[in-house]
Amino acid sequence: MTPHLQTQANFGVPGQRYLNAYTPGDDFYEALIDSHRGLDDAQSQAVNARLILLLANHIGDLRVLHEALTAARQGAAVRPATTTTTATTATPISATATERQP
């Protein structure tokens, strides 16, 4: 089945070209973090919830939204708790390199 969710880099203003591919993504990320500036955790959670609802309605297509919800939950489910691994159990870095194609 062809996925409906766009997971390739997609930030930018239509018609504009960027000298560095990372610039529009960095523009968005900075604006996102800025939108939380000065808020406490509860306020930030409220901003995030409102943002998700606004964007979800804008997307509208339930196929896209279902795929996004699934992808978001999958990653969070396998995510480890904050690690407190000590030095003695650390893996030597040469063993941690797993090739993954970008």
Residues forming the site for another protein (CB under 8 A): 6-11, 13, 15-23, 25-26, 29-30, 32-33, 36, 39, 41, 44-45, 48, 71, 75-76, 79-80, 82-94, 96-100, 102
Alpha helices (runs of H) in 1-102, residue ranges in sequence order: 23-34, 41-59, 62-78
Which C-beta is closer to another protein: that of 2 or that of 85?
A: 85
Which C-beta is closer to another protein: that of 41 or that of 57?
A: 41
Shortest Å, Cβ 58 to another protein:
17
DSSP state of 33: H
Shortest Å, Cβ 52 to another protein:
12
The CB-side HSE value for 65 (13 A sphere, CA atoms) comes to 11
Shortest Å, Cβ 63 to another protein:
17
Nearest to 20 by CA among 32, 30, 11: 11
User: How far apart (Å, rounded) are the C-alpha atoms in residues 29 and 39?
Assistant: 17
